[in-house]
Amino acid sequence: MLTPTSVKFDIGDGREVTIETGKMARQADGAVTVRLGNCILLATVVANKEPKEGQSFFPLIVDYQEKFASAGRIPGSFFKREGKLSDSEVLISRLIDRALRPLFPDDYLCDVQVLVSLISSDPEVMPDALACLAASAALAVSDVPIQEIISEVRVARVDGKMVINPNRSQLATADMDFIVAATEKNIMMVEGESKECSEEDLIQAIELAHNAIRIQVKAQEELRDKKGITAKREFTKPYDNPELKAKIAEFATEKIFNIAAAASAKHERSDAFKKVEEELVTFLGEELPEEDQALIGKYFHALEKEVVRNMILDKSIRLDGRSLDQVRPLEMEVDILPSPHGSALFTRGETQSLTTVTLGTPDDELLVETAATSNYSKFILHYNFPPFSTGEVKMMRGPGRREVGHGNLAMRSLKQMMPGNDYAYTVRVVSDILESNGSSSMATVCAGSLALMDAGVPLPKHVSGVAMGLISRASDGKWAVLTDILGDEDHLGDMDFKVTGTRDGICGIQMDIKVDGLSMDVMRQALAQANRGRMHILDAMYETMPAARPEPKPHAPRMEKLIIDREFIGAVIGPGGKVIQEIQRETGTTINIEEVGQTGEVSIFSSQKESLDKALEWVKGIVAVPEVGEVYESTVKSIMPYGAFVEFLPGKQGLLHISEVSWKRLENLDGVLTEGEKVKVKLTGTDPKTGKFKLSRKVLMPKPEGYVERPEREQRDGGDRRGGGFRDRGRGGDRDRDRGGDRGFRGGRDDRGTPPPMEAQEPMFDE
């Protein structure tokens, strides 16, 4: 019997989390399971003992995967097995990766693989909030040399109250939803969305999350101590040459500063730095040992980073000459492409997004599946980052993790302003980055907002975004916040965070912090500066597109939604879909019907307004309740010796008796009515016994002068003489028919939908 080591802690509201090690995956360097309710995650970590030869970066691999068996499901793919990671799994993998990566020493270059698997699913537990806890715990009980223990929690505001790791049903009603990662002392990562929260609301959520994380860090330390992990493994550190480093600094510092302070464009600056590096290689000479030659680039780029950081802190000079809080020049256009349903070109400095919007039907909804859920999304955003946007040559291999992550941030931000479920369109936004030098994801948010309004999507407000940076110096405590950072400033900074929102609050945030001891006061100032940058961009957006177009463009599909009683859904669909297929075929429209509570939602789509109106009237006719006294435009369906069967509403027929066709006495209807003819009739009543409709044409015609009403004759036994019914002639026939006709009959058809045989029909009127 395997005896695991475990610890437990209260998540804060009576729910208990258990972390366990020593039972599963024992050949990994570290392995744990984390359990909350019936949700169980298995996390493993394995690290190579030595770095690969010539390795110059830290190769960390983080994969999160949900096993469908964890929820008792079989994957819906053709192969019936889990394949490549879904977008949802990629996003959770990124949440773990971004939190773990800063924990490793800068000089640790061995391959590390962290795998987290959902092995048991609980429909009410969100596993993404536990995944980083599991990964950190696996590292904590291993000898892999991490510097600190971290954890990650979700904090959401539900009904005005902040909740740590809310269950799935609670999260559905939350107006704030953030994932926060931290060590015991420092915030490491924040990502999430909100319905226009304030900066102070965000600060409070982060502080509350940090308190919860401290409890989880202590639990991991307790598990580590129980496991007996007292030291981390030694590792081979990369070769270092302080003398060479000093020599490079002496040669290149001033040259780097002059280039950095020249306020040149991205490629011009890059070429200038490359030229200095080539001069440095020549200066050092070819006789430099091979191991030292490999250090030249490393030391030069580290010096470049240091010089630029000091220039910004000491001189308040940025690489492109802007002030610290200045946004780059903005250029915006809408309706730039003729065929898409909406389009916008957004340019901010050397970053540019061409974004399009396509309006589709509910058939175009995106199925998003996880182990525990299977939902359809009516709002889709895809982000593409082709290599030419940075002047590079690379193979195109489809969207990577970066594309998925940046697209998700933009999607979550714009989603806050999208109309609700009563908006029947499926909306797809595609952002193609044509140029990139800093925060193309924020360009996607701005271009997406403009393109959506250009498409006539009723966004109540514009959403914009801005990327911020922080540079700090530990030696003297000096720091600076940068608005609208460049790509190079992102690389050399201590914190980069992206904030999106409207004029009234924050809609989305993504923050990565690379420095210890960041105070909340610094974060408050950074958020306040981000607010000013966001407002500046919003002003320009409103000048370009003040509000959404009142309706979609002429070539976009038209949509109407009709709410009907649930009992009419079957009538609109028809047996085997016959009715709805006929409507679509005859009108050229697309119709979707969804049952919602006690009602049905009928969505009708067409590129032609005339077709849309025709289908809408058709459906309205089917669900309409005939009103006595109303006049209807009817169609003659068939003619009998005793009258004509007419359809006065879709699917609703009645007998226009020969005596109700004209004030004159007619022997037959030859030459009076023909099949397919349109004729106006008035609904004069319904038979109280059978519910059949009484129709008249003559009451809509002027009564002849001197006309005298004929007295009604008595009914014969065995039938109701009021219009529209039939009886069975046979003495052994249906007793119900003898008493007034089949009660399920409508418009000349029995309850099976077929007319009674002619020889069994007899008009229940005097002729």
CB 544 within 8 Å of CB 346: no
Give phi and psi for 675, each to the nearest 5: -60, 135
CA 441 to chain centre: 15
The DSSP 8-state label assigned to residue 141 in this structure reads T
- Name the residue among 302, 284, 301 with its Cα closest to residue 293: 284
- Residues whose CB falls within 8 Å of the CB of residue 171, separated by 6 or more in sequence, listed in order: 126, 154, 156, 158, 177
Coil, strand, or helix at residue 390? helix
Q: Is 292 annotated as a binding residue?
A: no
Q: Whose structure tokens read 């009108």? A: 587
C-alpha dihedral sign at 207, 213, 215, 217? negative
CB 645 within 8 Å of CB 597: no
Q: Whose structure tokens read 């489809």? A: 398
- β-strands 342-348, 351-360: how paired? antiparallel
The CA distance from 558 to 613, in Å, is 10
The CA distance from 135 to 189, in Å, is 15
- Residues whose CB falls within 8 Å of the CB of residue 48, separated by 6 or more in sequence, listed in order: 110, 111, 112
In which element (H, E) is residue 215 found?
Answer: helix 199-227
- Name the residue among 45, 29, 48, 20 with its Cα closest to residue 96: 45
Q: Which residues pair with 685 in a beta bridge?
A: 694
Q: Is 516 annotated as a binding residue?
A: no
Q: What token pair was written down for 423?
A: 């908006």
CA 357 to chain centre: 14
The DSSP 8-state label assigned to residue 20 in this structure reads E
- What is the signed CA dihedral for 163, 168, 172, 178, rounded to 10 degrees? 50
Coil, strand, or helix at residue 444? helix
In which element (H, E) is residue 621 found?
Answer: helix 609-623
Q: What token pair was written down for 284?
A: 């050092």
Q: Which residues pair with 591 in a beta bridge?
A: 604
The CA distance from 458 to 549, in Å, is 8
CB 356 within 8 Å of CB 375: no
C-alpha dihedral sign at 288, 292, 298, 302? negative
Question: Which residue numbers belong to the known binding site?
Answer: 490, 496
Question: Which residue numbers belong to the known binding site for Mg(2+)?
Answer: 490, 496
